[in-house]
Structure 1
């Protein structure tokens, strides 16, 4: 994976040079130019086949993006290409990148066409909007907002993501936080309480929903959840 990533960057750079006959090109010093290495994976277009594991970052809350960048740089999340890109960047520069992508408004892909049995839909909607109190699982909407578009400044939305990506993230949390960061957090604790059937139903339902609206303000969180996830939301700056 790392070798492929380096080759992609190399081919992009050499391609630009070759397109101009090897003559040095004056590139404008803008954030849009600086983050072109990011959009090799996190591009504006939808991924072919909807099976890519690269999440959408355009329009995500600034605090969430900043803290994910910082966690990759500081090895609190595990993905070597991201760590390599960010290893020499300051907090101030990471914040600039986060500001750029949070303000970037791009069209969302159409919802995935996923067949679900009526009982799967009922299960997913119960977990997403009511939770499972007997297992101390809060509703997804309690943290991610009533319309599931996230909560400022650091909780991401759940819509507009592929089923493959959502499944992978839930799997990472449920299997000891692989690639999800060193420190335990409330999302990991919650995901580990889900059964395979519940996790699959949630991923299928979310990926099949249309996207609308914007992140909610922080004050929509209940005091109980704000306290429960305070380390994750406030200190680490968002769910991993």
Structure 2
């Protein structure tokens, strides 16, 4: 036994010396032109797949991944942030992308054989030593639009459909880039911006930029805009007329429940009722308070849940909002979302 231990120790020392020589003298050839030794790529790829499947648990919060507005939002983010490496449906890789080691697979190949919760884990966490970054935000619920898009690619999304979702006219006005998602009154998951004040919009954009308000989608979008133009961009949206439209159909009892919650005292003298800041007939008026009237109910539910769970920040009254939302139940959030989604925007900004 002693001889065996001595042999193992000698081998360990020799291994350490060999490893030190490889590092210290640069013996390992890092040239991408040379590539990996035989078998290394298989080991890395197999490790990757098994690691994901070990750690990616099925999610209870999975939304309807067939929701067209969710797919469109995910496609637009993918086009801006991911297409450079993984291409669009139907595309072939450029010579530069094909020369990468490892070469990022084209999107149809990349998403094959993965379950939605596994795709969520990969997009959220990224992959070491591959150039695949983690989601650039601490919250990961806004990964789901990208997953919805990737599932639609699995289902055979043709290139023409992808182009219809992502092709935009050349920008001619400051906010044209943003209108790709926020135009035509927004969607179930993206709010319209025209009814908000310039002060609130600029505050929100800068919160996304500095990370105090978390969203992987918005963190990328705001980084595409020069920081010195954010004030003008906010003013451009605030100057646009708010779009009308038919109020969503919500159960009358839920609306009434939400109205009562919005008007009710919180029991904390430092925390006013929702109505005091967000209307209708707000008494605590400030251009930094958003107008919640007619915002999409799914968007409102998400934001209220983030506030309640301590996952949202941004703005000088963030602590107040977290205190106001911390005791809301899921049912309360549903009711408040129904009330404000059916409340017309307030006059003035």
CA contact (8 A) 1:141 1:147 kept: yes
The answer on 1:156 being equivalent to 2:228 is no
Report what 2:175 is aligned to: 35
TM-score scaled by length of structure 1: 0.67
Higher radius of gyration, 1 or 2? 2
Report what 2:229 is aligned to: 93
Q: CA deviation at 1:71?
A: 0.9
Q: Distance in 2 between matches of 1:145 and 1:128?
A: 9
| Alignment equivalent of 2:309, drawn from 149, 160, 175 | 175
Report what 2:114 is aligned to: none
Report what 2:213 is aligned to: 77
The answer on 1:201 being equivalent to 2:335 is yes
Q: CA deviation at 1:158?
A: 1.0
Aligned residues: 195
The alignment yields a C-alpha RMSD, in angstroms, of: 3.4
Q: Distance in 2 between matches of 1:45 and 1:149?
A: 27
Report what 2:79 is aligned to: 7
Q: Distance in 2 between matches of 1:121 and 1:7?
A: 38
Which ranges in structure 2 are unaligned for 5 or more consecutive residues? 1-72, 84-162
Q: Distance in 2 between matches of 1:105 and 1:125?
A: 26
| Alignment equivalent of 1:107, drawn from 236, 239, 243 | 243
Q: Distance in 2 between matches of 1:146 and 1:212?
A: 7
Report what 1:44 is aligned to: 184
- Residues 23-44 of structure 1 deviation map (CA, whole Å, 9 limit, x = unaligned): xxxx78x5x2x42221111012
Which stretch of the first structure deviates more once superposed, 78-87 or 106-115? 78-87
TM-score scaled by length of structure 2: 0.48
Structure with greater contact order relative to length (CA < 8 Å, sep ≥ 6): 1
In structure 2, the CA distance between the partners of 1:149 and 1:213, relative to structure 1 (3 Å rule), is farther
Q: CA deviation at 1:112?
A: 0.9
